[in-house]
Amino acid sequence: MAPTTRPMPKRCPRCNGPLYVGYDDDLSCLFCGEYVFANPPPPLVQAPPVVQEGPRKRGRPRKNPVAA
Ligand SMILES: [Zn+2]
């Protein structure tokens, strides 16, 4: 269970190196480049892919082939 608000680390969580403030109060590690988000980025909302029904229904539909 993760708390909604977390304190910003003073050191890099990966290599314990020094952090500097980047964009939007985010922190970047000087040593390993670890990026610590002050505000988690919004999740990418992707539209579901459009599945086009092609004219492929020909012949008799196959039943489930069960290997005997
Ligand atoms: Zn680091």
Please state the domain count of the chain: 1
- Residue 11, domain member (yes or no): yes
For residue 28, being part of any structural domain is answered with yes
13 C-alpha to ligand 1 centroid (Å): 7
Q: Is pLDDT at 10 greater than 60 in this prediction?
A: yes
Condensed to tens digits (0 to 9), the pLDDT of residues 35-68 reads: 888 876 677 888 888 888 877 777 777 787 776 6
Which residue range is the domain that position 33 belongs to? 7-40
CA of 36 to the centre of ligand 1 (A): 10
pLDDT value of residue 11: 92
> What is the three-class DSSP state of 23?
helix
Determine, yes or no, domain membership for 68: no
Answer yes or no: are the C-beta atoms of 22 and 41 closer than 8 Å.
no
Ligand 1 midpoint to CA 67 (Å): 55
Say if pTM beats, i.e. exceeds, 0.85: no
Predicted confidence at residue 31, as pLDDT, reads: 95
Mean of per-residue pLDDT scores for the chain: 82
Compute, in angstroms, the gap from residue 11 CA to the centroid of ligand 1.
8
Tell which wins on pLDDT, 9 or 16.
16
> How far is C-alpha 51 from the chain's CA centre?
24
